[in-house]
Chain A
C-alpha cells in the first residue's frame, strides 16, 4: 500500500461523502413536495383539497340510512381584530346531500386587506370524504376597511365515508395577509402565495 494510493482512496471517500451531504440537503427540500403529495393521496394530516369538487352524482346516491354530524369552527390567526364565525355551528347531514353554510366575516381594521382562509378537517382520515363544490377558501379574499360579508361554503359528505365516522369537524383559520401573517406583504408576495397554492 503506497502513500499515493492512501491519498487517492481518501480523496475518493471524501468525494462520496460530499455527494451524500449534498444529496441529503436536497432530500430535506424534497420532503416538502413529497409530504404534500403523500397527504393529498392519503388524506393524512387533515389535508383538504383547494380545488372545487364536482357535484354529487345524483339524488339517488344519497345515503338515507344514516347521518353524519358536521361541525364548523372558525379561528382568526394570532387573534387579530376580525369577526369570523360560522352562522351554523353544527349540521346533521345525510351522506351525498348538498349543503351550504355561511361564515360571517368582518374586517374590523381601518385598512383594506386580503385574507386567506385555510381549511382543515378532523378526523384527518375523513378529509378525503368531505367535498366542497364551492368555498371561500379556494381563493384569497380581499376586504375593504371595516367591510363585512357572509361567505358561503357548499359541501357534501361522500357516501363512501366509513360507518364509524359519525362526526366531522371542518375548521377554518383566517390569515390576514397584510398584517404580518405573511412577512413583508405586498402585491408581488400575494401573487407568490396564490401561485404556491
Chain B
C-alpha cells in the first residue's frame, strides 16, 4: 500500500474522532496520547522551571532579598515534585506512547482505554498538588522526599500532597503496565526481543521498575497519612516507630526512581548516535545486558542516600560497594556509545549534538555520583550543593537533554516537516553553555560547604551563586526558543522525507512523514 492511498483511506474511515474537545478528551490513539503526554510534560517543565527561576533569583545575592524563606522552601520542594512527576516521567511516557508501537510494528498500545485514563489522571493529580500553593500554610516545603516528622507539620496541604502522589503513582503504574503488555504481546512477526530497538528495551525494563517501586512509594505515603490522622506510629518514635525507617522505605523507591528517570534516555541516545554516525550501534547485546544488570543493582543500593543517619560500618560498606558496582554497566554503555562514534562518518544535526552533550555531561554527573557513593566523603558532601550539582547533571543534561534530542530526532516524523536546523543549533548551544554556567559552579559551592534548600548563604558563596543564577536565567530563557522551534515545525517547514535522516534504521522510518493516524494495522514482517 503506497503512502498516498493510505492517507486517503485514513481520511475517510479512521481519522481522529470529530470535534476538537472530544478528540483529545476521549482519544485512545497512541499517537494522540503521546502528543498529550509530551505537551503536558512541556507545560510542567515551564511550571517547574518558573519555580527554579524564583529559587535562582532569591540566591542571586546573599541575604533574604526577594521571597519569604517559607515560600522558598515551598519552591524547592515543588520544583522537584513537578519536574520529576510532571516533566520527566510524562515526557518519557509520551515518547513511549508515540514510538513503541511504530518501533515494534504494532497497530496501537495493548490497552488503549487504560492509556487514556492513565494520561488524564496526571492533570487531576497536578491540580491537587499545585492547588496547595494557594492553601493556608502553603504547599509542601519539607523537601520532595517527604521525611517525617517534618512533613507531618505541613498544614492543610498534607492530604492533598499524599493523594496527589497516589494519583500520579497510579497513573504511572497504569502507563507502565500498558507499555510492558504492548512490548511483550504486540510485536510484529519476526521482531524477537533481541531485535527490538534499544529505546523499547529500555522502556520494557523501566516499566518493570515502575511497577515494582511505585507501589512501595504509595505504601510509604499511606503510612504517613495514617500516622497523621489515624493514630498509627509507623514513623513516630513516641509510639514505637522510627522516622529513619521512612527513609529506608522511601529510598527503596527513590533510588530505582532515579533510574526510571534515566534508562529511557539511554535508549534514546542509543537510537540517535548510530543514525548520525551511519554505523550500527556498537555492542547491542551488551547494552541490553548492561541495562538489565543496572535494573538489578539499583534495588540494593538505596542506603547511599542515608550514610549520615548513623548507619553501622558494615551497612555503609555494603551500600558503598554496591553503589560503585552500578558504575560498571553504566561505563559499558558510555564506552559503547564512544565506540559507535569511533571512525563513523558523523554529522552534527541538533539531535546528535544533544546526544553527544548527553554522553559527555551525563558522565560528569555519573562521576560526581561515584564521589557521593564513597561513604567517608559523603558525610562531607551530604545535603550540600555538590549533591544539587550532581543530580542536576544527570537529570537536566541527562534526562532532559535526551528528551530534547528525541523531540528533534522524531519531530519530522510526527509533523511531516523539518524543524529549523539553524534555530535548533542556537537552542543547543545556548542550552549547553548556560546549563554548565548554571550547575558547574554548584560543585564548588558544595565542596566549600554551602547547604542545599536554604534561601540565604554566607558571603564567601556570593560570586559562584551569582554566576549560577545568571546561567539559570539564560537556560530558562533558552527554552522559550525550544517552544518556538516546535510551534514553527508543527505549522510548516521543509517537507520531511519518509526516512528523514540519512542513516536512520528502524520500522518508524519506513512510514510516511507525518506518520498516518493509524499505522501497521497489518503487521510488517521483520527479517
Chain A positions 19-60 with a Cβ under 8 Å from a chain B Cβ:
20-29, 31-32, 35, 39, 42, 44-46, 50
Query: Which residue from chain B places its CB closest to the CB of A122 in the assembled complex?
Result: B310
Is B215 part of the contact surface with A, judged by Cβ < 8 Å?
yes
Q: How far is the CB of B33 from chain A (nearest CB, A)?
A: 17
Is B507 part of the contact surface with A, judged by Cβ < 8 Å?
no
Q: Could you say which of B189, B213, B241 has the most chain A C-beta atoms within 10 Å of its C-beta?
A: B241
Q: Are B181 and A14 in contact (CB under 8 A)?
A: yes
Summed over the interface, the residue pairs from A and B with CB atoms below 8 Å come to a total of 124
Q: Are A46 and B229 in contact (CB under 8 A)?
A: no
Question: With A24-B213, A31-B245, A35-B248 given, is the CB distance from A14 to B177 under 8 Å?
Answer: yes
Q: Are A13 and B248 in contact (CB under 8 A)?
A: no
Question: With A13-B185, A25-B218 given, is the CB distance from A196 to B249 under 8 Å?
Answer: no
Q: How far is the CA of A123 from the CA of B311 in the complex (A)?
A: 9
Q: Are A17 and B238 in contact (CB under 8 A)?
A: no
Q: Are A118 and B310 in contact (CB under 8 A)?
A: no
Task: Summarize B's interface: helix, strand, loop or mixed.
Answer: helix
Q: Could you say which of B110, B213, B217 has the most chain A C-beta atoms within 10 Å of its C-beta?
A: B110
Q: Are A44 and B245 in contact (CB under 8 A)?
A: no
Q: Are B181 and A25 in contact (CB under 8 A)?
A: no
Question: With A24-B216, A45-B242, A125-B312 given, is the CB distance from A31 to B252 under 8 Å?
Answer: yes
Q: How far is the CB of B241 from chain A (nearest CB, A)?
A: 8
Is B466 part of the contact surface with A, judged by Cβ < 8 Å?
no
Is B273 part of the contact surface with A, judged by Cβ < 8 Å?
no
Count of interface residues, chain A, beta-carbon cutoff 8 Å: 46
Question: With A13-B181, A175-B238, A182-B238 given, is the CB distance from A21 to B219 under 8 Å?
Answer: no
Is A197 part of the contact surface with B, judged by Cβ < 8 Å?
yes
For chain B, give the interface size range.
35 or more
Q: How far is the CA of A192 from the CA of B241 in the complex (A)?
A: 12
Question: With A13-B180, A116-B238, A118-B238 given, is the CB distance from A25 to B111 under 8 Å?
Answer: no
Q: How far is the CA of A161 from the CA of B310 in the complex (A)?
A: 19
Q: Are A44 and B311 in contact (CB under 8 A)?
A: yes
Q: How far is the CB of A77 from chain B (nearest CB, A)?
A: 7
Please give, as numbers and ranges, the residues of chain B lying within 8 Å of A193 by CB-CB distance: 233, 238-240
Q: How far is the CA of A192 from the CA of B249 in the complex (A)?
A: 23
Q: Are B242 and A28 in contact (CB under 8 A)?
A: no
Q: How far is the CB of B262 from chain A (nearest CB, A)?
A: 21
Q: Are B233 and A17 in contact (CB under 8 A)?
A: no
Q: Are B231 and A192 in contact (CB under 8 A)?
A: yes
Q: How far is the CA of A25 from the CA of B239 in the complex (A)?
A: 23
One of A9, A20, A26, A118 near B211 (C-beta < 8 A): A20
Q: Are B177 and A17 in contact (CB under 8 A)?
A: yes
Is A18 part of the contact surface with B, judged by Cβ < 8 Å?
yes
Q: How far is the CB of A55 from chain B (nearest CB, A)?
A: 26
Q: Are B181 and A118 in contact (CB under 8 A)?
A: no
Is A170 part of the contact surface with B, judged by Cβ < 8 Å?
no
Q: Are B231 and A6 in contact (CB under 8 A)?
A: no
Query: Which residue from chain A places its CB closest to the CB of B212 in the assembled complex?
Result: A24
Is B388 part of the contact surface with A, judged by Cβ < 8 Å?
no
Is B474 part of the contact surface with A, judged by Cβ < 8 Å?
no
Q: How far is the CB of B208 from chain A (nearest CB, A)?
A: 8
Please give, as numbers and ranges, the residues of chain A lying within 8 Å of B228 by CB-CB distance: 183
Q: How far is the CB of A67 from chain B (nearest CB, A)?
A: 24
Q: How far is the CB of B105 from chain A (nearest CB, A)?
A: 13
Q: How far is the CB of A20 from chain B (nearest CB, A)?
A: 5
Chain A positions 133-186 with a Cβ under 8 Å from a chain B Cβ:
173, 175, 177, 181-184
Q: Are B236 and A6 in contact (CB under 8 A)?
A: no
Q: Are A20 and B212 in contact (CB under 8 A)?
A: yes
Please give, as numbers and ranges, the residues of chain B lying within 8 Å of A10 by CB-CB distance: 110-111, 181, 185-186
Please give, as numbers and ranges, the residues of chain B lying within 8 Å of A35 by CB-CB distance: 242, 245, 248
Q: How far is the CA of A45 from the CA of B316 in the complex (A)?
A: 12
Q: Are B312 and A28 in contact (CB under 8 A)?
A: no
Please give, as numbers and ranges, the residues of chain A lying within 8 Å of B239 by CB-CB distance: 116, 182, 192-193, 196-197
Is A61 part of the contact surface with B, judged by Cβ < 8 Å?
no
Q: Are A18 and B177 in contact (CB under 8 A)?
A: yes
Please give, as numbers and ranges, the residues of chain A lying within 8 Å of B373 by CB-CB distance: none
Is A189 part of the contact surface with B, judged by Cβ < 8 Å?
yes
Q: Are A17 and B213 in contact (CB under 8 A)?
A: no
Is B483 part of the contact surface with A, judged by Cβ < 8 Å?
no
What are 10 A-B residue pairs whose CB atoms fall within 8 Å in the complex? A21-B173, A21-B214, A22-B215, A24-B216, A35-B248, A39-B242, A45-B242, A183-B229, A193-B238, A193-B240
Question: Top 8 closest A-B pairs, CB basis?
Answer: A28-B219, A175-B238, A25-B215, A24-B215, A28-B216, A193-B239, A17-B177, A13-B181
| Interface positions of B (Cβ within 8 A of A) | 110-111, 152, 173, 176-177, 180-181, 184-186, 189, 211-220, 223, 227-229, 231-234, 236-242, 244-245, 248-249, 252, 309-312, 315
Known: A20-B212, A21-B177. 4 other contacts (CB 8 A): A18-B177, A28-B219, A45-B242, A77-B238
